[in-house]
A and B are shown apart, each in its own frame.
Chain A
Amino acid sequence: MKTDIHPNRGTARGTLFALYAVLIAYALITLMPFIWMLVTSFKEARDVFKLPPSFVPTKLFTDEPFGNYTEIWTQRDFVIFFRNSAFVSFMAAIGQVFATSLAGYAFARLDLPGKNWLFALVLVTAFVPVEVTIIPEFLIMRGLGWIDTFLPLIVPSFLVGAFGTFMLREYFGSLPKDYGDAAYVDGATPFQIFWKVYLPLAQPALVSIFVIAFINNWDELLRPLLFLNSDELKTVPLGLMSFVSQYEASWTLLMAGSVISTLPLIVIYMLTQRYVLQGFVGGGVKG
């Protein structure tokens, strides 16, 4: 220990200690469900109902450490749910990038009478709760004969997205006008100016929109629940819920499924953390 402990340094050290204690305590609460999920997914089924509960992943010490994973993945068709979720989320994310980059650019840079009213309408209607619109949405999808297909989960994403439109309108609006003017002098059409000049510059915002849309669609429960009936079309959240009713007590399998469904999001989040955080802070709203 240093001999000349300044009185202030003592309090600073105490404060720092308290700060870390609180942060670590809350980090434990935050991460506990993930830890417990992971531990349970590596337990033998018979160890789940042992008291007191233990954090020992007993299955890791057997011949088949990943037994719960292989069982749920192959024998319980989780691979199908996973593929469905990946496909739907990917297509919907592409759709959002498509629809909102066009709309965001037009709102920011192209002149059309009444476009500000249209923009206001897109934002205001986004605040109407989904509960209000979901019944007619269901009736529309039923009328189109789209029930029990992926279309209701993908097509709307290709049409409208308030969050992405808002974000890209800001983004395109913040880019210098001169680039477009220069291209215009060189004889570029409005579409070429968008496609060759501004769209490449918006790449960070497009990545945020893609990732956030992917995460939201991967997470979506209500629409798959309403629009999909067949087992072979189920998405991951729906598949997990059907496991709950079928094997309520198979917590090892359920938790293995939960880990599988959480992992892609954690990986994507870690790879694109900067874009995602910027996107959430900039856009402010999820969805």
Chain B
Amino acid sequence: MRSNRKIRITALLFLAPTIIGLLVFRLIPIGWSFALSFYDWKIFDTPQFVGLGNYAHIFTSPTAHKVFLNSAYFSAIYVPGSIALALVLAVLLNNGLRSSAFFRGAFFLPYITSTVAVTLAWRWIFSTKFGLLNNALDWVGVDNPPAWLADPMWALPAVALVSIWKDVGFYMILLLAGLQTIDPTLYEAARVDGAKPVQRFFKITVPMLSRSLFFVLILALVRSTQTFEITYALTNGGPNRASTTLAFYVYQNAFVEFEMGYAAALSYIMCFILGLLTLTNFYFRKRWVHED
């Protein structure tokens, strides 16, 4: 039929930008990066094929090990921290109070504001001697508060805390949307049966919210592996790489050291770990996610 052909031609024209974009900015780079990971290439030299050399180097390099541990540590703070806080805030705001809209707006604010700008404000707050945080700690009687961004022990948790502060409002909004779908009569029935608030939370809220929680868990996991702006503006990965996570290390290798092949291999390992974590979570999904 003629009209059918017309529709196909229109569809093809409509999808032309997407097809070109998919090819040039997704598929070709994904393949190219994989190929690059088998080469030793400083950007201005000729590429040298090294087989699995880059990967072997990653597995034996103490710096890479440190970066992997940092990444795991970062995720271990960020993922449970942001989800637990988002859940608490969402439950507190899901009560029909008139002021809820104000608090919801305030908690979401960090997520949509300029990352570099607010991170610089945090950098000033974390400042060892003149910063707001240490002066507040001093005021409540803490002796020798840490140097935060200059302290190898605290730099990474500081980056994680700022990241949680920035993103928690987003997860809260997603969980609030989930909470609003829970049937209020469930709570009334539980109350009549004498269930305490804590019991109601764990026996009703968490199971009924499990699908939203799973979604938030995956999002938080993905985001936890990709921190860049906050690290760049807060610590630049220091001191002595103490706050360098994998995504930041890829950037440093590629665009500070110009070790393109090594950076590509690192990025593929990062992608592999992320894929594995996501699949593991989907595998365990049925154990705790409640389907209606």
Contact = CB atoms under 8 A, between A and B. Distances in A.
Interface of A: 19, 22-23, 26-27, 29-34, 36-37, 40, 48-49, 51-53, 98-99, 102-103, 105-107, 110-112, 115, 118, 121-122, 125-140, 156, 158-160, 165, 189-191, 194, 215, 218-219, 221-222, 225-226, 236-237, 240-241, 244, 251, 254-255, 257-259, 261-262, 265-266, 269, 273, 276-277, 280-281, 284-286
B226 A241 contact: no
B249 to A, nearest CB: 9
A277 B169 CA distance: 11
B92 A19 contact: yes
Given A111-B8, A131-B226, A49 B117 contact: no
Contact of B107 (A30, A222, A265): A30
Given A135-B36, A140-B29, A273-B105, A103 B92 contact: no
B113 A103 contact: no
B250 interface: yes
B113 A48 contact: no
Given A30-B106, A133-B30, A221-B115, 13 more contacts: A33-B118, A36-B121, A102-B17, A102-B18, A103-B14, A121-B22, A129-B270, A132-B271, A139-B32, A190-B7, A237-B116, A262-B118, A280-B174
B247 to A, nearest CB: 5
A112 B97 CA distance: 49
B4 interface: yes
Contacts of A125: 22, 26-27, 30
11 contacts: A32-B125, A34-B109, A105-B14, A110-B10, A112-B8, A121-B22, A129-B226, A129-B267, A131-B270, A136-B28, A286-B170
Interface stretch (B75-83, B141-149, B201-209, B227-235): B227-235
B19 interface: yes
Interface in B96-138: 97, 99, 103, 105-110, 112-118, 120-122, 124-125, 129-132, 135, 138
A98 B117 CA distance: 29
B15 A112 contact: yes
Size category of the binding interface on chain B: 35 or more
A33 B122 contact: yes
Given A128-B30, A159-B18, A222 B109 contact: no
A159 B113 CA distance: 26
A237 B29 CA distance: 26
B263 interface: yes
* Residue in B93, B114, B251 whose Cβ sees the most chain A Cβ within 10 Å: B114
Contact of B228 (A37, A222, A277, A281): A222
Nearest to B266: A131
Given A33-B121, A221-B116, A261-B117, A129 B271 contact: yes
A190 B15 contact: no
B7 A135 contact: no
B112 A30 contact: no
Contact of A261 (B93, B114, B251, B270): B114
Given A156-B21, A286-B170, A241 B33 contact: no
A37 B121 contact: yes
Contact of A221 (B106, B135, B232, B274): B232
B22 A51 contact: no
Contacts of B116: 219, 221, 236-237, 240-241, 258, 261
A161 to B, nearest CB: 8
